[in-house]
Amino acid sequence: MTIRVGIAGIGFMGWIHWLAYQRVPGIEVVAIAEPNQRRRAGDWRDIKGNFGPPGERVDLDGIAAYADYGELVADPRVDVVDVCLPPAAHRDAVLAAAAAGKDVFCEKPLALQTEDAEAMVAACHARQRTLLVGHVLPFFPEYAWALEKIWSGDYGRLLGGTFKRVISNPTWLPHFYDLQRVGGPLLDLHVHDAHLIRMLFGLPTHVTSRGRFHGQAVEYAHSQFEFAEDYVVSSVMGVVHQQGRPFTHGFEIHLEKGTLQFEFAAFVDLGETMPVKLINARGEVLRPEALSSDPLDGFVAEITEVRNALQSRIPSRILAGDLARDAIRICQAQARSVASRSRQAV
Ligand SMILES: NC(=O)c1ccc[n+]([C@@H]2O[C@H](COP(=O)([O-])OP(=O)(O)OC[C@H]3O[C@@H](n4cnc5c(N)ncnc54)[C@H](O)[C@@H]3O)[C@@H](O)[C@H]2O)c1
């Protein structure tokens, strides 16, 4: 049976999700909610983001268009509410959707505070609704290839890894450093790696972070994570104020019999990649044949996982809400560690 989705918030992510839904069978958009009247009428040409195609005019024939997500969650045609609202609105929207008996697919970060994330997971659990969170990074081709190698078991157990996500000052993002609205670099940016670390290694017991502040928000930090097991895991994240390099991300992940390596940097003049590879115990370097360069493909894979998780009711090992809640816990412990210059329990 086709899963019927209502998208709450037609901004950059609402548009990207919309495009992805068009490419996944078995799941379809039946409603949207957006206060902007032009967008409610299908004119999405003013939507712009930092990847993917610019917004277009869309045909909303047969699709209910509400001004507020409160009306969308009450629509009996909607099975799952896709929350593409600004981060500060996630909590109330997820709680409203769960109270209305809907499954939820919420964009990252799940919430800005650990207590809110806990309340959201608990509310969906109490209503026996599935909560999925849009941590799309594991579906990006290089990350997906690395995960496939790790989860194959062919290279032994994980030993650790280092994860990087550094940008220049994102002057185009309003309220970026506002802890009540966006959450700063930890909650907006690093949460992707916090989630990946949680997925791969479990919940750290402690974290030690050192960093710099921008107002109340941690602007840049190095972190060392501790686990009950002897993994060696670290991260580098944040904003560096040289505008010539808007974005960098990458990883080096160690397994008993393999090292996975990848780095991408967008400079103002061009993007440069150290392609993903696996260096194995025989001294060979393995590389994937060809990876997609279409940024939408990661979202298509993510929506496919949403559909599969909702159809099967088997918890997603990538998108499950409790992993996203733990990612918020990790980021908040890092913030406490930078502020107190001390090791913090997660
Ligand atoms: N996974 C990724 O790669 C990625 C990339 C960008 C953003 N995001 C996340 O997606 C979320 C949304 O970000 P965005 O860039 O799309 O923001 P955005 O500001 O472009 O879009 C949010 C939309 O929600 C609408 N809205 C506000 N209040 C509403 C209400 N009461 N009812 C219905 N709609 C309402 C706004 O009018 C706006 O159009 C954020 O959590 C952000 O962190 C994820």
pLDDT tens per residue across span 77-120: 999 999 999 999 999 999 999 999 999 999 999 999 999 999 99
Residue among 85, 106, 167 whose CB has most ligand 1 atoms within 8 A, to mutate: 85
Report pTM. 0.97
User: DSSP labels for 216-245?
Assistant: TEEEEEEEEEE-SS--EEEEEEEE-S-TT-
> CB–CB of 306/27 below 8 Å?
yes
Quote the pLDDT of residue 152.
97
- Ligand 1 within 6 A of CB of 264: no
Gap from CA of 87 to ligand 1 centroid (Å): 7
Residue nearest to atom 5 of ligand 1 (CA): 13
> What is the DSSP secondary structure assignment for residue 273, as one 8-state letter?
E
Q: How far apart are CA 272 and CA 252, in angstroms?
A: 17
According to DSSP, residue 242 is labeled -
CA of 222 to the centre of ligand 1 (A): 28
Q: Which of ligand 1's atoms lies nearest the C-alpha of 13? A: 16
Best residue among 73, 92, 94, 107 to mutate for probing ligand 1, ranked by most atoms within 8 Å of CB: 107
Instruction: Kindly state the DSSP code that residue 137 receives in the 8-state scheme.
Output: G
Spans of the chain below 50 pLDDT: none
Tell me which fold the domain 138-291+326-345 belongs to: Dihydrodipicolinate Reductase; domain 2 (3.30.360)
Is the C-beta atom of 26 inside 6 A of ligand 1? no
Cβ pair 254, 158 in contact under 8 A? yes
Distance 85 CA to ligand 1 centre (A): 4
**Would you state the pLDDT for residue 293?**
86
What pLDDT score was predicted for residue 63? Answer: 98
pLDDT digits (tens, 9 = 90+) for 196-222: 999 999 999 999 999 999 999 999 999
**Residue 225 CA: distances (Å) to CA of 119, 132, 321, 344:** 25, 25, 21, 10
Q: Ligand 1: distance of its center to the CA of 226 in Å?
A: 33
Domain ranges of the chain: 3-135+301-319, 138-291+326-345
Residue ID of nearest Cα to ligand 1 atom 15: 12
Evaluate: CB of 11 within 6 angstroms of ligand 1: yes
Q: Does residue 68 have its Cβ closer than 6 Å to ligand 1?
A: yes
**Atom of ligand 1 at shortest range from CA of 87:** 41
SS3 303: helix
Domain 3-135+301-319 maps to which CATH number in 3.65.10.10, 3.40.50.720, 3.30.360.10, 1.10.510.10?
3.40.50.720
Amino acid identity for residue 327 in this structure:
A
Q: Which residues contact 111 (CB under 8 A, 6 or more apart)?
A: 87, 90, 91, 117, 120, 325, 328
Q: What is the pLDDT of residue 109?
A: 98
Among candidate residues 231, 208, 257, the one with its CA nearest the CA of residue 161: 231
pLDDT of residue 196: 98
